[in-house]
Chain A
């Protein structure tokens, strides 16, 4: 394809890439938007996560990012004209503490949350168990709960975005990799698997893979892969109403609408494989049984891996790089839950040059070089 061009090339068709594309196309300003993804639909981290969203954070910017995103999820089916719906479930999110120190952190965070209107509260162990009967009592100190938090199906969310993008004229191509970016006079020539494309602006939404594409241009994006593994059970009657996250176990638990319980398990590991590791089941099952002994009898159906990203301060990176016209959006492992707000912010930034958004200005890519660090108290616990 000679002389192929677009106004904006988005690399990566995950939750960030597609949400950014949708917000851009929504303006109907005639911009030609092309999205390429080297994998298949929902094959990256956006389709491989615990599916939860929460506004229970300890830092204003994270609270705001998620509040906005959750409001969008609530009306996404209409907004994106997606009749099947995105599998929204707002039965709350219970962050569990198994030590006094963890409980203190939750209490402090709830104080912050209340300042921004998050209806969260601290529950004692008995209240936690009343809410989630299969929970283990041992060592449980309590938790913080917010009823507006919940989950949606990442697959349906991505499918809804994909269809809405295409309806609005965005071209989305899977199975095509962006190999390199070459600066040219009027922007960039991006070399794709199937030939070059000339574009004015590039937005990199490949998360942990962003440095690989940007380093040759001298752009320093500090993010690393963060592999996680997931185990899902057979569908069972409702047993875990809110989403659970245990700071001690490093496990998130989400019983989806369909009845399956999804356990997202973190442990120190490196690499970018999405395959289950051979010792995962033996590692995860005892921890799961310790966390929710009431579910011990439930059969596990499937396990798989997902590779998210993490930045030095565990916060997203959103903004224009030191190269004009090259933008980056790195999730730092909350891509799914923040994607609606990130899409809006990045669309405004890429198309209008709007850099006044207070969230984006805190999350700009050059903060590490400038020695700025953002501390999210809850994440440093996990």
Chain B
């Protein structure tokens, strides 16, 4: 994979197209790392967003809004703001745009944060 990241467009897409190996969740793509969600240790892969890592771990809700409704990912690309949660103590971070990091603390945001 290291070679991929050095490709001319700075991206691995060319390599990916030629790759025969699927690397969907659990298939070994990306170095593995651990972060915490509500204190629980969750395995993720380097390069994944927090939202993707949570979804891959089977978690769908990471916010409960002021009316008590559970919230997770909707647009997955940053404009709907549904996936806001608390990351490393900071409220209202978008899980879909935040890359997951080793040791990151993700918490369910309750109410306005």
Which residues of A pack against B, CB within 8 Å? Answer: 234-237, 259, 299
Contacts and interface: CB of A to CB of B under 8 A. Distances in A.
Contacts of A234: 92
B111 A237 contact: yes
Nearest to A234: B92
Contacts of A259: 66, 112
B113 interface: yes
Contacts of B66: 259
Nearest to A259: B112
Contacts of A237: 111-113
Interface string B81-110: 000000000011000000000000000000
Nearest to B90: A297
Contacts of A235: 112
Per DSSP, chain A at the interface is loop
11 contacts: A234-B92, A235-B112, A236-B91, A236-B112, A236-B113, A237-B111, A237-B112, A237-B113, A259-B66, A259-B112, A299-B92
A236 B112 CA distance: 5
A234 B84 CA distance: 12
A235 B92 CA distance: 10
Contacts of B91: 236
Contacts of B111: 237
Nearest to B65: A235
B66 to A, nearest CB: 8
Nearest to A239: B112
Nearest to A299: B92
A237 B112 CA distance: 5
A234 B92 CA distance: 10
A203 to B, nearest CB: 41
A236 B111 CA distance: 9
A299 B90 CA distance: 13
Given A235-B112, A236-B112, A237-B112, 8 more contacts: A234-B92, A236-B91, A236-B113, A237-B111, A237-B113, A259-B66, A259-B112, A299-B92
Nearest to B111: A237
A299 B92 CA distance: 10
A236 B84 CA distance: 13
Contacts of A299: 92
